[in-house]
Amino acid sequence: MRLRNVKNATEILNNSKVLIKEPTQYKGHFQELFGNNNPIEIEIGMGKGDFILGKALKNPNINYIGIEKYASIIARAIQKIDPLDLPNLRLIDTDALKLGDVFDHEITKIYLNFSDPWPKTRHAKRRLTSDWFLPVYESISIGKPVIEQKTDNIILFASSIESFSANDYLLEEVSLDYNSEDNVETEYEKKFRAQGVKINHLIATKK
């Protein structure tokens, strides 16, 4: 994701009410952070936060955590989310490979929206649905991992289907032109749909 550097990003992060500053201290106890036993769903690579914010507003009985590793990007999301003071939405700035240090079998669903496709073959392992990442998702999920993916990139989508199938996941709701009344759009998705770009979508559940 490309975004101009935010000069005061560090200050925005330090002063945020929704950013979890030391997430590893809540490992295995995130329900205590939210103060309830509601399910916890995460979005990895949340961008500027349109999707995770929309989900939190729409579903007050579900707790959401947005994950983003780039300070300038998460700063933009904080500027949007902080003033709303939603009790069921928090943010974490970390890399997806480090999620095993943050969560311990407490996530009910994982969203991967318009992730970096890493189109070159030599970079395939960096894709968020590769063999590098699936074991991480399994270590943080309650029971069988449930992963929902949206992307405009057909190469990434095909690679994801191959990876999920090879790792014993059941593929549901596979679509090359996704439309749903329940859909919450990301900022990229809004732009792509306006341009007539078709959206690929699936839900993968470990068998």
What CA–CA distance (Å, rounded) separates 30 from 34? 7
- Tens of pLDDT, residue by residue over 46-93, are 999 999 999 999 999 999 999 999 989 999 999 999 999 999 999 999
- Under a CB-based contact definition with an 8 Å cutoff, are residues 77 and 114 in contact? no
Place of tokens 């995130």: 30
- Under a CB-based contact definition with an 8 Å cutoff, are residues 40 and 61 in contact? no
What CA–CA distance (Å, rounded) separates 204 from 197? 23
The three-state secondary structure class of 44 is strand
The whole-number pLDDT of residue 111 equals 98
Q: How confident is the model at residue 7 (pLDDT cuts 50, 70, 90)?
A: confident
The whole-number pLDDT of residue 1 equals 43
Query: Please, what is the average pLDDT of the chain?
Result: 94
The three-state secondary structure class of 123 is helix
- Under a CB-based contact definition with an 8 Å cutoff, are residues 51 and 43 in contact? yes
Tokens, residue 52: 């995770």
The CATH fold assigned to 9-206 is Rossmann fold (3.40.50)
Q: What angle do CA 97, 98, 102 make, to 5 degrees?
A: 140
- Tens of pLDDT, residue by residue over 167-201, are 999 999 999 999 998 999 999 999 999 999 999 99
Residue range 28-44: mean pLDDT, rounded: 97
pLDDT(96) > 60? yes
> Cβ contacts of residue 34 below 8 Å, gap of 6+?
40, 63, 87, 88, 90
Q: Where are the domains of the chain?
A: 9-206
Residue range 5-32: mean pLDDT, rounded: 92
The residue from 104, 116, 152, 168 that is catalytic is 116
Nearest to 201, CA basis, from 107, 113, 108, 96: 113
What's this model's pTM, rounded to 2 decimal places? 0.95
Nearest to 13, CA basis, from 69, 55, 96, 53: 69
Please confirm, yes or no, whether 101 is among the known catalytic residues.
Answer: no
- Tens of pLDDT, residue by residue over 108-133, are 999 999 999 998 989 899 999 999 99
